């Protein structure tokens, strides 16, 4: 083949690959738009919802909290209407609350956000489940730290029928699970979360246990993940409907979750827990260490059944954009080398 034609063929094939990836991503993005929210958090006080917990006493009641820079308030939300039906003001100074977890009547508030991985004042706050009331309450504040040093954390997990609390780091790769026992917490000293697993999905923004304890769901900016907490392996993944910035997830039954976003008038979508997908074949999403399995006999008290369709596509959108970016770099390098005749001097 003519050397000039050969040099043109390689970038041509790479450009064709970019087109295929982008078209597939756009098709999946269009599919993702089919889902409809079950309700909208329209209260003007909720603009940065960064934690979500569904009441075990009332299926149509949930709690949410704004993240950094906002008042120390927990909002009780009616899931039927999206209206705020109670506000609990906590006598505390929140710095960057990123997660909520509810177990046995205790609402755990995770002041654990740390975008710059520099905080030395991480804390968990514990209050009684507020219900549909408006009140000002005291909270138990427990200082905590992370084994291995500061890291950004946005997911707080409370396994049912257990005294453990877990967090999942938010990282670009090799996210980790860390754990402590509730009984070890002390208001007068710092308790360390100890690492129990690694290799989880990247950029985890929230997580939760199913009510029977058999599954964990993790949320990222593009995907919803189903995790087996016995070994923290990925069971499946699904893409998300259009969200401004996906930050909240909570179970409403053992096989369905609510997913929400930051922003004003943020929607809540009800999605089935994924049971399969390309993510299960990705070695980067398989845990490399194993904590003790979760055992639970908690009863199922889920919300009324609704559409359980998981809308596929956003995972491929995110992956496609990354692949397209990589291919574009390769095209640039190939074209640059072709124009230079492959000389080492041109590449210095």
- pLDDT for res 74: 98
Whether residue 204 contacts residue 237, with contact meaning beta carbons closer than 8 Å, is answered with no
Q: Indicate the DSSP class of residue 49.
A: E
H or E element that contains 328: helix 314-340
Q: Cα separations (Å) of 329 from 5, 72, 252, 334, 348?
A: 21, 46, 43, 9, 17
Q: Indicate the DSSP class of residue 186.
A: B
What is the distance between the alpha carbons of residues 280 and 5, in angstroms, rounded to a whole number? 41
Whether residue 341 contacts residue 246, with contact meaning beta carbons closer than 8 Å, is answered with no
- pLDDT for res 323: 41
- pLDDT for res 99: 98
Determine the topology of domain 36-309 in CATH: Neuraminidase (2.120.10)
Largest CA distance in the chain: 80
Long-range contacts of 182-191 (CB under 8 A, 24+ apart): 185/124, 185/142, 185/144, 186/142, 187/140, 187/141, 187/142, 187/143, 189/143, 190/143, 190/144, 190/145, 191/142, 191/143, 191/144, 191/145
Contacts of 142 (CB under 8 A, 6+ apart): 123, 124, 125, 126, 185, 186, 187, 191
Q: pLDDT truncated to tens, each residue of the chain (348 aa)?
A: 554 554 555 545 445 544 433 334 444 444 444 578 999 999 999 999 999 999 989 989 999 999 988 999 999 999 999 999 999 999 999 999 999 999 999 999 999 999 999 999 999 999 999 999 999 999 999 999 999 999 999 999 999 999 999 999 999 988 999 999 999 999 999 999 999 999 999 999 999 999 999 999 999 999 999 999 999 999 999 999 999 999 999 999 989 999 999 999 999 999 999 986 543 334 334 444 433 433 333 332 333 333 333 333 333 333 333 444 433 333 333 333 343 333 322 322
Global pTM reads 0.73
- pLDDT for res 8: 52
């Amino acid at each position: 083949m003519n050397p000039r034609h050969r040099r043109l063929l390689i970038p041509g094939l790479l450009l064709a690959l970019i087109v295929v990836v982008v078209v597939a991503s756009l098709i999946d993005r269009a599919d993702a738009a089919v889902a409809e929210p079950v309700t909208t958090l329209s209260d003007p006080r909720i603009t940065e919802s960064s934690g979500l917990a569904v009441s075990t006493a009332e299926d149509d009641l949930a709690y949410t909290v704004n993240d950094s820079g906002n008042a120390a308030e927990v909002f009780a939300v009616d899931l039927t209407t999206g209206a705020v039906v109670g506000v609990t003001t906590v006598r505390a100074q929140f710095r960057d609350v990123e997660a909520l977890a509810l177990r046995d009547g205790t609402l755990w508030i995770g002041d654990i956000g740390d975008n710059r991985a520099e905080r030395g004042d991480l804390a968990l706050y514990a209050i009684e489940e507020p219900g549909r009331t408006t009140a000002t309450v005291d909270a138990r504040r427990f200082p905590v730290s992370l084994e291995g040093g500061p890291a950004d954390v946005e997911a707080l997990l409370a396994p049912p029928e257990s005294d453990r609390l877990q967090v999942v780091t938010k990282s670009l790769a090799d996210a980790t699970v860390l754990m402590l026992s509730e009984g070890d917490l002390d208001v007068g000293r710092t308790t360390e979360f100890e690492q129990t697993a690694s290799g989880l999905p990247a950029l985890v923004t929230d997580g939760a246990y199913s009510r029977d304890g058999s599954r964990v769901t993790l949320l990222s900016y593009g995907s919803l993940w189903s995790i087996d907490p016995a070994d923290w392996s990925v069971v499946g993944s699904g893409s998300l409907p259009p969200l401004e910035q996906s930050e909240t997830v909570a179970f409403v039954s053992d096989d369905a979750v609510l997913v929400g976003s930051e922003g004003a008038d943020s929607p809540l979508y009800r999605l089935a827990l994924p049971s399969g997908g390309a993510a299960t074949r990705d070695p980067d999403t398989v845990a490399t260490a194993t904590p003790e399995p979760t055992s639970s006999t908690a009863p199922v008290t889920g919300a009324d059944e609704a559409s359980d369709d998981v809308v596929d596509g956003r995972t491929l959108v995110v992956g496609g954009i990354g692949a397209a970016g990589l291919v574009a770099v390769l095209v640039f390098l190939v074209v640059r080398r072709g124009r230079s005749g492959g000389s080492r001097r041109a590449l210095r």
